[in-house]
Structure 1
Amino acid sequence: MKVVYEAANLIDAHLVKHALEDSGIPVFLRGENLVGGMGELPLFGVIAVCVPDSAWPEASEIVATLPIAEADATPAADAAPLDGAGWVPA
């Protein structure tokens, strides 16, 4: 099994899983049951979408075309500017 996608959260993992399964690729979610194991503290890098070694090239192409793979790279249009402009003291 090879990791084809490191998910930020469980929803991302399942979206990728379903896209791969729709293409006939078997998927295993590593760390799915560990989410919430630390109580209130979030765990990062725990959930990974894994596929068989032979299916990895096709799976990585599918993941690259998903809009979820681009979500972290593009800032939100309504995000506050980094220079602090627009912030009003309380």
Structure 2
Amino acid sequence: MQVAYRAHNLFDAHLARHVLEDAGIPAFVFGENLLGAGGELPLFGILRVCVPDPCLADAESALQAAGLLGAGLPGEDPDPILEDDPGLLPA
């Protein structure tokens, strides 16, 4: 299995899964059952939509056609820390 999409939230993950399944690509949402353990797991990067290895290129095309991949690359962190971001500043 290869990660075709890293989701921001559960709705985003299932939207990507349905796009892939409509294109005839089997997909599975990993991390869905871990959302209840939010206090003990990192809050981001848990949800991943995975496809079988041979289907990765077709999955990327289907997700891009649906507008889910945008400028980001598959497998990229949905909330990257930008180099120019100063972070929290004092008031």
Distance 1:65 1:24 in 2: 14
Partner of 2:3: 3
The equivalences for 1:1-90 within 5 A come to 1-39=1-39, 43-70=43-70
Normalised TM-score (structure 1): 0.69
Alpha-carbon offset, residue 66 of structure 1: 1.9
Q: How many residues align?
A: 71
Alpha-carbon offset, residue 71 of structure 1: 9.2
Alpha-carbon offset, residue 46 of structure 1: 0.2
Unaligned residue ranges in structure 1 (runs of 5+) = 73-90
Alpha-carbon offset, residue 42 of structure 1: 7.2
Q: Percent identity?
A: 51
Q: CA RMSD in A?
A: 2.1
Unaligned residue ranges in structure 2 (runs of 5+) = 73-91
User: Which protein is bigger by CA-based radius of gyration?
Assistant: 1
